[in-house]
Structure 1
Amino acid sequence: MDDTRAARPVPRTHRRPVLTFLGAAGTVTGSRFLVESDACRLLVDAGLYQGPSALRRLNWEPSEVPASELAAVVVSHAHLDHCGYLPRLVKEGFSGRVLCTPETAELVEIVLRDSAHLQEEDARFANASGFSRHRPALPLYDVDDVERTLRLIAPVGFGEEVEAGPGARVVLRPAGHILGSSTVHLDVDGATVVLSGDLGRPTHPLLNPPPPPTAASTAVIESTYGDRLHPAPTADVLAAAVRRTVGRGGSVLIPAFAVDRTELVLLQIHQLMESGAVPRVPVFVDSPMALATLRVYRAAIHAGSAELRPAAAKLLTAVDSLRVREVRDAEGSMRLNRPGTSCIIISASGMATGGRVIHHLKHQLPQRRNCVVLTGYQAVGTRGRQLLDGAPQVKIHGRYVPVRAEIVDDATFSVHADADELVAWLGSASEPPQVAYVVHGEADASHALAQRIHRDLGITAVVPRRGERVRLD
């Protein structure tokens, strides 16, 4: 069960380093892990809660630690549930360094500016429409907060050891999840902990697999797919959905994460069209953030990033041959609500929690000829999860919209390690940790992974509660 009760302020009554689970404990989103000693307090990840309103309300609670007391925030990667709370921390007084890889720094800039813009837009829409319970509705943070946040970012190269605060050293290593994603190794007064962040898969088409974890006495490991295995890679699900939809004169709407997922979806569509598995129809990318992200990936290829597989350049060049129609303005996006011909529309966000895809869903879900293809993990309480679970209607902008369109789940796009891959990664450490804390998963997934880690690796594995504090000895 998600623990959404207000966490108490974290006291400073310890001698040895302490780890406190401020987020992503009992739920998938809101990653925040406090590591502290007598001389230093730092945060690993500062993510937004997404999903049910009870979780989203936690974004508005004052930080359990005064933001001004944090020496640094280490960001594992640029997804919103790992970096989206940063501007709120700055709004509350944080002025330390934000440590992350250079690629994560570029993507965080894109993600946070988009997040602030969407929150401001949503607040304006709520006030104009009158469907918000708050008078007036306010954004969690604004673009000015984001700009102040970006000035605090201090990029750190992979393998480079840097001081995060007095007595605290940090080293980032590739996680293979998205470009720039990292696992985090901390040494705080001699206590060592490795945090997986979001761990990628060995089969990512563009990124190299993550190396084994560094030796540490404590591990913190994600469990998004901790109770299941990914299906074998196949393009059959998407191909069949496109053929059915085009055959009945409809459009295919693909809610996709702007960072990394859009690139992978475009790659598969290119391969399907080249092979003749699906008809050639117009392909629209209606996400300025996804288009900006694509530029970052291309720049990394041009720079010869060691994160990328040798075939990455060839694959993204192939995507260019799709002649994707880029939608950059609101007017073009609105025209896609009634495209007039069968097409494929890729738009953010991936769990249908916000962004332009919401407007497309409002117009396309009531039509039986259309299809919505879900391409990633759908957290409990999100519109994507409601659609996945067969909801007959979903609430959008204060009104219920009937779901008549075909809903398809394509699980082959996931870039999260599954249960076997998570256990294999943890088991590949040169020295096993004394304890593994299993986080960033729904309760069933986290407990299933903890049981496997204990059974298969002989490591003490615990699913922590939100607000729980443990010693790092």
Structure 2
Amino acid sequence: MQIQFLGATGTVTGSKYLVSAGPTKILVDCGLFQGFKQLRLRNWANLPVAPSAIDAVVLTHAHLDHSGYIPLLVKNGFRGKIYCSEATYELCRILLPDSGHLLEEEAGYANKHGFSKHHPALPLYTQDDAERCLKFFSPVKFKHRFRVAGTVNAELARAGHILGAAIALLDDGKTTIAFSGDLGRSEDRLMAPPSTIERADYLVVESTYGNRHHDPADPMILLGKTIQETVNRGGIVVIPSFAVGRAQILLYYMHLLKQSGAISNVLPVYLNSPMAADVTALYRHYRDDHRLNDEECRAMCHAAKIVNSVEESKALNLQHMPMVIIAASGMATGGRVLHHLKAFAPDPRNTILFAGFQAGGTRGASMVGGADAVKIHGEYVPIRAQVLQIENLSAHADGDEIMNWLSHFQHPPRRIFITHGEPEAADTLRKRIEEKLQWPCTVPDYLETVELK
């Protein structure tokens, strides 16, 4: 076997790993690059392998940095099966068409207002492209061994993180390689903890928070304090949020904060993402993936008013009374939240609250870093609102939690490949593993190929 790293090297986006076993070629994850322009341009470049030559895809979870390239892969000739958990398939049915719709919408907006350098601006793929790729999905159950292609078999185990998130184990009868995907947290308020893995010859592990320790303070208290302080000065709280995972924990916390009286029970809370509303409803169907009971699921689903239409979304921007708006996307890279930032970021009474990791090169990272203006739809928007970040709302394991997860291996892997992290995070995790566990580690380079002997 051999592995080639087609993404998630030196960055937390673009996860793609090409595993070859003789003539068989399998892509583990198929994500979009996000953030810096030089990374986003990779989405438009040809893969080093023809999509038609790939026999199958194994998907760890539905977030777009792991799944968002699939419509383009199919558009460019892939005709194999896409294996994933049942919940991941349901999420991809929501996320991928929405991604295509947003890409078309952004290209259309750029053409209408003339701020694109390309004439005409074109979407990476369309909603129709995304709809067509769904017929290639083949959902499988957790802990069920299945044939992927050729001599390669696989099994999925729960990774926590979001609904359906999986740790993927592949083997060709001689060599086993495990992919952590995005590891969840052992004591997450919402999601079940990640499954433990006892052995694998090789391991690809994420390092998003490999150099950090999550603040032990209760993020719900910080969230409530931020909202109340903003309300007291007559302001509006805008929370850029991923539609899958982050939006749901925020909704659950809104319910608990109102129930406890930490924030007013009549404070308007809006979820400006019909997609996030659809995702939230799935929590009732996949109870084994999370910790909530039926009553808590219902409360989460009714914690906010759903904003469905574009007209309703625009109307929010004309309001001046205190309220909370949760809207995609989580790093302010696109979606409806951009219009809310244009409307509310210039007012110092308001708060822009980021709930989790912000990849380099995103508007979120710029704002958290103290930028006094960010470019949205071709023009610079001044940032006078308070900008805060609650990092311990993240659904990613931190450095200590990753090390604890690794401790369950009964036999050390021959080598660990550390990916899906900014350079400092990946290298810090490498040092910790080598010094504490004395396991050999590599932080691979983009397009590097390694023989798995």
SS at the partner of 1:186? Answer: strand
- Residues 103-154 of structure 1, C-alpha deviations (whole Å, 9 max, x = no match): 0000011110110000000010111111111111101111221122100000
Comparing 20-29 with 423-432, greater Cα deviation is found at 423-432
Distance 1:321 1:73 in 2: 36
Q: Name the amino acid aligned to 2:236.
A: S
Counterpart pick for 2:278 among 292, 312, 328: 292
Shift of the alpha carbon at 1:250? 1.1
1:57-206 equivalence runs, <5 A: 57-206=41-190
Find the aligned partners of 1:81 and 1:344 in 2 and give their Cα distance: 27
Secondary structure of residue in 2 paired with 1:395: strand
Match of 1:4 in 2: none
| Contact in 2 for aligned 1:37/1:189 (Cα 8 Å) | no
Is 1:389 the equivalent of 2:351?
no
Give the match for residue 412 of structure 1: 392
CA distance in 2, matches of 1:233, 1:177: 20
Aligned to 1:8: none
Match of 1:247 in 2: 232
- How far has the Cα of 1:299 moved from its partner? 2.2
**1:182-331 residue pairs with structure 2 within 5 A?**
182-234=166-218, 235-280=220-265, 281-301=267-287, 306-309=288-291, 311-320=292-301, 322=303, 324-331=304-311
State the distance in 1 between where 2:359 and 2:227 align.
25
Q: CA deviation at 1:308?
A: 2.5
Q: CA deviation at 1:279?
A: 2.3
1:364-409 alpha-carbon deviations (Å, 9 max, x no partner): 0011111111001100010111111010000000000000001111
Equivalent residue number for residue 6 of structure 1? none
Which amino acid is the alignment partner of residue 230 of structure 1? H
2:446 corresponds to which letter in structure 1?
Answer: R
Q: Is the 8 A contact 1:63 1:89 kept in 2?
A: no
Q: Which runs of 5+ in 1 are unaligned?
A: 1-16
Range that drifts further, 200-209 or 29-38 = 200-209
Structure 1 residue 422 corresponds to structure 2 residue 402: yes
State how far apart, in whole Å, the 1-side matches of 2:99 and 2:192 are: 28
Q: Any idea what SS the aligned residue of 2:215 has?
A: coil
Q: Give the AA of the match of 1:308.
A: H
- Whether the 8 Å CA contact 2:96–2:131 is kept in 1: the answer is no
SS at 1:451 equivalent: helix
- Contact 1:168/1:188, CA 8 A, preserved across alignment: yes
CA contact (8 A) 1:192 1:472 kept: no
Shift of 1:318: 2.9
TM-aligned CA deviation for residue 253 of structure 1 = 0.5
Structure 1 stretches of 4+ moved >3 Å: none
Residue 344 of structure 1, aligned match among 324, 330, 341? 324
Question: Following the alignment from structure 2 to structure 1, what is the Cα–Cα distance between the partners of residues 27 and 216?
Answer: 37
The structural deviation recorded for 1:338 is 1.9
Q: Counterpart amino acid of 1:255? A: P
Whole-angstrom CA distance in 2 between matches of 1:115 and 1:50: 13
Are the equivalent residues in 2 in contact too, given 1:32–1:45 (CA < 8 A)? yes
* Equivalent residues of 2:185, 2:193 under 8 A apart: yes
Deviation at 1:84, TM superposition (A): 0.1
Query: Taking every aligned residue pair, what percent have the same amino acid on both sides?
Result: 44
Separation of aligned partners in 1, 2:68 and 2:224: 34
Inter-partner Cα distance in structure 2 for 1:265 and 1:224:
21
Quote the Cα distance in structure 2 between the aligned partners of 1:260 and 1:82: 14
User: Aligned partners of 2:49 and 2:347: how far apart in 1?
Assistant: 48
How far apart are the structure 2 equivalents of 1:18 and 1:276? Answer: 56
1:262-290 per-position Cα deviation (integer Å, ceiling 9, x unaligned)? 11001112211221212231010000110
Give the CA deviation at 1:61.
Answer: 0.2
Alignment-mate amino acid for residue 186 of structure 1: L
Residue 412 (structure 1) shift: 2.2
What SS does the aligned partner of 2:284 have? helix
Specify the code of the residue in structure 1 equivalent to 2:300: V
Cα 1:387–1:97 change in 2 (3 A) is: same
Which residue identity does 2:345 align to in structure 1? Answer: L
* 1:15-67 deviation digits (Å, cap 9, x = unpaired): xx111101001111000000002220010000000001111000000111100
- How far did residue 320 of structure 1 move? 4.4
> What is the rounded CA distance, in whole Å, between the counterparts of 2:169 and 2:285 in structure 1?
27
CA 341–273 in structure 1, closer or farther in 2 if over 3 Å, else same: same
**Matching residue within 357, 360, 369 for 2:349:** 369
Q: Give, in whole Å, the separation in 2 of the partners of 1:300 and 1:438.
A: 30
Match in the other structure for 1:3: none
Q: Give the aligned residue type for 1:291.
A: A
Cα distance, 1:424 vs. partner?
A: 1.1
Does structure 1 residue 54 correspond to structure 2 residue 67? no
Moved more, 120-129 or 209-218: 209-218
Query: What is the TM-score of this pair, normalised by structure 1?
Result: 0.94
Contact 1:39/1:167 (8 A) holds in 2: no
* 1:202–1:208 contact (8 Å) kept in structure 2: yes
Distance 1:214 1:134, change over 3 A: farther
The residue type paired with residue 294 of structure 1 is: T
Determine if contact 1:205/1:312 at 8 Å carries over to the other structure: no
CA contact (8 A) 2:345 2:385 kept: yes
Secondary structure class of the residue paired with 1:184? strand
Distance 2:301 2:146 in 1: 39
How well do the aligned residues superpose, as a CA RMSD in angstroms? 1.1
CA–CA distance in structure 2, aligned partners of residues 462 and 314 of structure 1: 46
Residue type of the alignment partner of 2:111: N
Segment of structure 1 superposing worse, 61-70 or 140-149: 140-149
Distance 2:320 2:340 in 1: 14
